[in-house]
Structure 1
Amino acid sequence: MTLAAALLFALVSPSAAQAVAAGPCQGHKIKTFRFSTGRVTVFKGAGFVCALTYAEKPGRARKMSVTLQARGHRAITRSGTFRRYAGPLSVRAAHRCVKVTGSVGDGSLKPRWIQC
């Protein structure tokens, strides 16, 4: 989904617009959170925060997830069985704190707040 389509989607459906699935994350990398089995990398650009959870050892399919929650909104999650990464996942969060979590197999990232 292009950024223009994502913005149009946001104008048409504000409640659903909090979560906009994107291609590779746009913007610049602002943070990487590491945990025992992987890492969550967070990007920011054009009023959105985007995140991906990467496996520390890619290749073998395993359960992975990435979750974002802009303060004042519901958490959204992308999860499933993947070989390399879960995501990308984006939320509209121009000037909001965003809670980030992720998991790969048995390992997980404790919730972290960014942009606060």
Structure 2
Amino acid sequence: MTSAAALLLALLGPGAAQAAAAGPCQGHKIKTFRFSTGHVTVFKTSGFVCALTYAEDPGRTRRMSVTLQARGHRAVTRSGMFREYAGPLSVRAAHRCVRVSGTVGGGSLAPRWIQC
């Protein structure tokens, strides 16, 4: 964390630190799926589901991806070369099951259905 970010969090108080720790997805965390090289964390807010795939060992650039698919719709993927995480990726999923998967390097999370 940069010194400017640390100063801002100190000025805003402990609640801001918790909000900043949530990362780029809005809403509340509903699930974390772990696999050998990372984990996928899923958040939900106002009819949307947002997910990020985090590397277990951040710092070096490697291929990562995160995929979401609301039942009845096409899968959406964000992939590329990242150091810390792939995403955020959001889909509209009001009252729908959502399929989640992700990869970090050679490890992957097999697709899982949530909210069913």
Q: TM-score, normalised by structure 1?
A: 0.80
In 2, Cα distance between the equivalents of 1:91 and 1:76?
Answer: 8
In 2, Cα distance between the equivalents of 1:81 and 1:26?
Answer: 23
In 2, Cα distance between the equivalents of 1:100 and 1:56?
Answer: 18
In 1, Cα distance between the equivalents of 2:53 and 2:31?
Answer: 12
Q: What is the count of residue pairs matched by the alignment?
A: 94
Q: What's the counterpart of residue 99 of structure 1?
A: 99
User: 2:80 corresponds to which letter in structure 1?
Assistant: G
Higher Rg of the two aligned structures: 2
**Which blocks of at least 5 consecutive residues in structure 2 are unaligned?**
1-22
1:25 and 2:25 are equivalent in the alignment: yes
1:112 and 2:112 are equivalent in the alignment: yes
The 5-angstrom pairing of residues 42-57 of structure 1 reads 42-57=42-57
Q: What's the counterpart of residue 61 of structure 1?
A: 61
Deviating above 3 A after TM superposition, structure 1's stretches of 4 or more consecutive aligned residues are none
Cα drift, residue 59 of structure 1: 0.2
Q: What's the counterpart of residue 9 of structure 1?
A: none
Q: What's the counterpart of residue 81 of structure 2?
A: 81
Cα drift, residue 24 of structure 1: 1.2
In 1, Cα distance between the equivalents of 2:80 and 2:98?
Answer: 22
Q: What's the counterpart of residue 18 of structure 2?
A: none
SS at the partner of 1:110? strand
Greater helix proportion: 2
User: 1:79 corresponds to which letter in structure 2?
Assistant: S
Q: TM-score, normalised by structure 2?
A: 0.80
**Which blocks of at least 5 consecutive residues in structure 1 are unaligned?**
1-22
